[in-house]
Amino acid sequence: MWKRDEAVKPTSGQPTPSAPVTQSNQPASASAAPQPEAARRQQIERGDVVNIGKSVVIKGELNGSEDLTIEGHVEGKIELKDHVLTIGPNGKIKAAVFAKAVIVLGEVHGNVTASEKVDIRDGGSVDGDIVSPRVAIAEGAHFRGSVDMQRKGAQPGQPAQQQRPAAQPAPQAQPQPQPAAQVAQPAAR
């Protein structure tokens, strides 16, 4: 059996540098582009993606300043004001949810408020009220509650009349001027 240490013996007593070899016997610098799994690992290492696994149970308040994927169970309140919350297919949420965007593949029991969009995908379920300027419910999804599609910049709880832009006032019936001959009509005898 050939051994690398025996095959290459330096004569001067100093080790000879060798290029690292990958499993395909190519130098490491010539390796292929990262696979999707490798790219996902890099995102996780940089902190771009946070994942709560299937076996994790959280009771209480969950706040964050990065995108979050939940595959486990959360009860209480979830607040990711400027980030995306994804409820995975195994995720079960019993909480009030506040995020920039919410993608539901699992189950949510509670009100969902998003500043940009709520997306309930096939197999996803929401039992609660939704407040968001954009809402998408896929065929095969479950939804029970009400939807309030507020415009951006509108404060929750504002009456609908105050949300209209000033350039478009509410239409009102204006009396039409009538010719003087038709205004006075004699009474029937």
Residue 55 lies in a domain: yes
Strand partners, 69: 51, 86
79: containing domain = 46-151
Instruction: Give the pLDDT band (50/70/90) at residue 36.
Output: low
Strand pairing class (73-87; 92-104): parallel
150 or 85: which leads in pLDDT: 85
Check residue 17 and give its pLDDT.
Answer: 44
Residue 119 lies in a domain: yes
Residue 98 lies in a domain: yes
Residue 64 lies in a domain: yes
Asked if 115 contacts 130 with a C-beta cutoff of 8 angstroms, the reply is no
Number of domains making up the chain:
1
Check residue 180 and give its pLDDT.
Answer: 52
Distance between CA atoms of residues 11 and 57, nearest Å: 62
Q: How large is the average pLDDT for residues 19-45?
A: 47
Check residue 139 and give its pLDDT.
Answer: 95
Check residue 153 and give its pLDDT.
Answer: 56
Check residue 179 and give its pLDDT.
Answer: 52
Asked if 58 contacts 92 with a C-beta cutoff of 8 angstroms, the reply is no
Residue 2 lies in a domain: no
Check residue 50 and give its pLDDT.
Answer: 83
Token duo for residue 58: 């959280």
Sign of CA dihedral 24, 27, 32, 33: positive
Residue 136 lies in a domain: yes
187 or 74: which leads in pLDDT: 74
**pLDDT, mean over the chain:** 74
Tens digit of each residue's pLDDT (9 = 90 or more) over 45-83? 555 668 899 999 999 999 999 999 999 999 999 999 999
Residue 186 lies in a domain: no
Check residue 163 and give its pLDDT.
Answer: 42
Residue 147 has pLDDT above 70, yes or no: yes
Token duo for residue 57: 């149970």
Residue 147 lies in a domain: yes
Entry pTM:
0.58
Asked if 99 contacts 85 with a C-beta cutoff of 8 angstroms, the reply is yes
